[in-house]
Structure 1
Amino acid sequence: MDIRYPKARPLLFEAVRVLASSPESIQTRLIDATESLLSVTIDEFACDPELTIKFARILDLIAVDRGDVEATAVETAAHMSDAQAGLIADLVCDFLYEIA
Structure 2
Amino acid sequence: MGGRRLAAAVHIEHPVSRERLVLEPGTEPEAEVAALITNPAAWEDGELPTFEEESGKDPEQSEEPVTAPVPEPVPEPEPEPESEAAGRSRKRSTAV
Larger CA Rg, structure 1 vs 2: 2
The answer to whether TM tops 0.5 is no
- The TM-score by the shorter chain falls in which range? under 0.3
What's the TM-score, normalizing by structure 1? 0.25
Whichever structure has more strand as a proportion of its residues is 2
